[in-house]
């Protein structure tokens, strides 16, 4: 759900290389695991690095191990230290070490009271064939833009390459594996109970941890929440609704904002006209170049994903598009509307590469059964019905298409949470989040006994905002003192369209 620069992954690799001299020996860990040996990170002031060995297969703890990089910013007020706060920035596949180093948004309250620890989780170690990954990523996302059976063939070839380059790890990268790793780190750090801050896909890891180790939680914040209880139809419908809801929020602002380039028309109707033109090969940009349905979808989705800060850009980009007259269309409108089709070969390059938002993890956690084109068509119809103006949530659709034909079993399939007793959890989400729609957070809060839902009434992903004392204050009080906000607390939006 979150896109990061590859420099964070490079940092994680550097941490492992740096800490190899002090890493635990590569044999099975027996409780309690040895405490990591922290040393100052190279070229990073105020941060310490270490590593820890975990079993590749938790069913066989005496077998092969994997070394995970750790990064820590120690509490700045040791006399008032509460303990360790483990963070997972989501992605999936984002570097926890890099996030603690470069992106840590926490206020001084949390920095003073907690050692803040990030883990480069096992999914960051997955490697797949570079050429096949690029082929997959270059395939147009929407139905009809590419041969679905070709997509399935690319996915299956990519899966074979992932197994080849990743070895035994390939079969052990579900959120359940990540949760067990995190408990191993908790024990190694000497913490009787876990303090956790999970963002986006990191919220699924947190939920899984709550199922596996409910008595080992002190405090848990789930920020921008993935609902793992959804069946495929509910997943498609609710995620499509999330994008439609975000566009409706934009449209309400645009109708009354003189600075919006679409204020003289109905933005929702205008977008519908653009979709119709794109499907007929008649949509053009400001340079008179054809705009495909896939490109239109990417433009709208990308702007809405950034929240209010991109609303001006969204209005301007949609206003710049024009519908060409019938005579301007090519003889075959579909050909003019669609981008150049990529090479249909599925020949690997035999070059290992990082698999961004690692598909083996996604397909271990989710089951869509989308290898059949008819099933994919059914999902598309559901999506358009739920989102008549925006049509499809590309983030959720990408997951579906990535797992189409993936040859391996879903080892951690979707289900309602089974947690009869639990320390209170704080669930936080934006009202108009595109990546993780607000109803998902409400659903997860209902599945976790004693949890509280905290809502940011804006349009963004990730809601720990230093500019919002309402949000940071509520989250800080919960983590430090375990004081939950009042049920269904709402905080006003603080980011304005720019």
Q: Are residues 187 and 286 in the same domain?
A: no
Return d(Cα 102, Cα 97) in angstroms, integer.
9
Residue 497 lies in a domain: no
**Of 276-280, 313-317, 349-353, which gets the smallest average pLDDT?**
349-353
Question: 184-218: per-residue pLDDT in tens?
Answer: 999 999 999 999 999 999 999 999 999 999 999 99
- pLDDT score, position 11: 45
Is residue 26 predicted with pLDDT exceeding 70? no
Counted domains in the chain:
2
Question: 239-282: per-residue pLDDT in tens?
Answer: 999 999 999 999 999 999 989 999 999 999 999 999 999 999 99
Q: CA–CA distance from 314 to each of 202, 304, 497 (Å)?
A: 29, 8, 10
Mean pLDDT over 455-464 rounds to 97
Return d(Cα 58, Cα 184) in angstroms, integer.
11
- What stretches of 63-161 adopt beta strand conformation (E)? 65-73, 83-88, 114-119, 127-129
> Residues 462, 439: contact at Cβ < 8 Å?
no
- pLDDT score, position 134: 94
* DSSP per-residue letters across 241-262: HHHHHHHHHHHHHHHH-TT-TT
Q: Of 311, 337, 363, at which residue does a domain stop?
A: 337
Is residue 154 predicted with pLDDT exceeding 90? yes
Mean pLDDT over 347-375 rounds to 91
**φ, ψ of residue 353 in degrees (nearest 5):** -150, 160
Q: Of 319, 337, 355, at which residue does a domain stop?
A: 337
Q: Are residues 208 and 78 in the same domain?
A: yes
17's CB contacts (< 8 A; 6+ apart) are none
Sign of CA dihedral 457, 459, 463, 466: negative
Is residue 28 predicted with pLDDT exceeding 50? no
Residue 213 lies in a domain: yes
Q: Are residues 96 and 181 in the same domain?
A: yes
Q: Are residues 274 and 210 in the same domain?
A: no
CA-based angle 157:163:169, to the nearest 5? Answer: 150
Which pTM value belongs to this model?
Answer: 0.91
Residue 135 lies in a domain: no
Report the candidate in 126, 121, 81 with the shortest Cα–Cα distance to residue 100: 121
Residue 401 lies in a domain: no
Return d(Cα 371, Cα 148) in angstroms, integer.
8
Q: Are residues 212 and 282 in the same domain?
A: no
> Residues 82, 45: contact at Cβ < 8 Å?
no
- pLDDT score, position 187: 97
Is residue 367 predicted with pLDDT exceeding 80? yes
- Tell the residue number behind the tokens 């007020």, with chain if given: 77
Mean pLDDT over 339-365 rounds to 79
Element at 300 (helix H, strand E): helix 293-305
Q: Are residues 75 and 183 in the same domain?
A: yes
Residue 345 lies in a domain: no
- pLDDT score, position 1: 58
Return d(Cα 1, Cα 434) in angstroms, integer.
10
Residue 112 lies in a domain: yes
Q: Which residue range(s) make up the domain with 269?
A: 245-337
CA-based angle 204:206:211, to the nearest 5? Answer: 95
- pLDDT score, position 357: 84
Q: Are residues 95 and 223 in the same domain?
A: yes
Residue 116 lies in a domain: yes
> Residues 184, 52: contact at Cβ < 8 Å?
yes
Question: 79-115: per-residue pLDDT in tens?
Answer: 999 999 999 999 999 999 999 999 899 999 999 999 9
Q: Are residues 252 and 292 in the same domain?
A: yes
Q: Are residues 213 and 255 in the same domain?
A: no
CA-based angle 463:465:498, to the nearest 5? Answer: 95
488's CB contacts (< 8 A; 6+ apart) are 453, 455
Q: Are residues 263 and 327 in the same domain?
A: yes
Confidence of residue 145 (pLDDT cuts 50, 70, 90): low
Residue 403 lies in a domain: no
Q: Are residues 206 and 279 in the same domain?
A: no
- Tell the residue number behind the tokens 């509910």, with chain if given: 234
- pLDDT score, position 155: 96
- CATH classification of the domain holding 455: 3.40.50.1820
Q: Of 313, 337, 361, at which residue does a domain stop?
A: 337
Q: Are residues 324 and 456 in the same domain?
A: no
């Amino acid at each position: 759900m979150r896109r990061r620069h590859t420099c964070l992954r490079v940092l994680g690799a550097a941490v492992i290389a740096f800490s190899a001299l002090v890493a635990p020996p590569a044999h099975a860990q027996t409780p309690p695991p040895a405490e990591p040996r922290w040393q100052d990170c190279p070229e990073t002031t105020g941060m310490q690095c270490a590593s820890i060995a975990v079993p590749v297969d938790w069913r066989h703890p005496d077998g092969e191990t994997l070394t995970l990089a750790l990064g820590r910013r120690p509490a700045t007020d040791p006399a008032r230290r509460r303990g360790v706060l483990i963070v997972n920035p989501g992605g999936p596949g984002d570097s926890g070490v890099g996030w603690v180093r470069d992106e840590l948004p926490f206020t001084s309250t949390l920095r003073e009271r907690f050692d803040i620890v990030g883990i480069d989780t096992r999914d960051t170690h997955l490697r797949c064939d570079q050429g096949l990954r690029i082929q997959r990523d270059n395939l147009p996302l929407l139905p009809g833009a590419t041969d679905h059976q070709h997509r399935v063939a690319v996915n299956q070839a990519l899966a074979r390459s992932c197994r080849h380059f990743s070895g035994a790890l390939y079969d052990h990268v579900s959120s359940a594996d990540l949760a067990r790793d995190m408990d191993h780190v908790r024990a190694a750090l000497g913490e009787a109970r876990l303090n956790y801050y999970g963002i986006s896909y990191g919220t699924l890891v947190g939920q899984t941890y709550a199922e596996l180790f409910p008595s080992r939680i002190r405090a848990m914040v789930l920020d921008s929440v993935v609902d793992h209880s959804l069946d495929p139809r509910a997943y498609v419908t609710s995620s499509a609704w999330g994008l439609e809801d975000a566009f409706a929020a934009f449209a309400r602002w645009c109708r009354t904002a003189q600075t919006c380039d679409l204020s003289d028309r109905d933005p929702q109707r205008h977008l519908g006209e653009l979709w119709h033109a794109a499907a007929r090969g008649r949509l053009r940009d400001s340079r008179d170049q054809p705009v495909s349905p896939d490109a239109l979808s990417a433009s709208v989705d990308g702007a809405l994903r950034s929240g209010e800060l991109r609303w001006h850009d969204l209005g301007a980009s949609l206003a710049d598009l024009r519908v060409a007259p019938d005579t301007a269309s090519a003889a075959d409108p579909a050909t003019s509307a669609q981008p150049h089709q990529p090479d249909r070969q599925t020949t690997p390059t035999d070059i290992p590469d990082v698999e961004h938002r690692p598909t083996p993890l996604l397909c271990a956690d989710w089951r869509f059964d989308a290898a059949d084109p008819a099933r994919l068509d059914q999902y598309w119809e559901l999506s358009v019905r739920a989102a008549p103006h925006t049509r499809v949530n590309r983030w959720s659709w990408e997951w579906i298409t990535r797992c189409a034909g993936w040859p391996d079993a879903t080892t951690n399939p979707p289900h309602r949470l089974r947690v009869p007793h639990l320390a209170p959890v704080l669930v936080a989400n934006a009202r108009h989040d595109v990546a993780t729609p607000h109803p998902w957070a409400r659903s997860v809060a209902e599945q976790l006994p004693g949890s509280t839902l905290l809502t940011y009434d804006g349009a963004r992903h990730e809601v720990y905002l230093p500019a919002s004392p309402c949000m940071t204050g509520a989250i800080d009080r919960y983590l430090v003192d375990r004081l939950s906000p009042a049920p269904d607390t709402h905080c006003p939006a603080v980011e304005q369209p720019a």
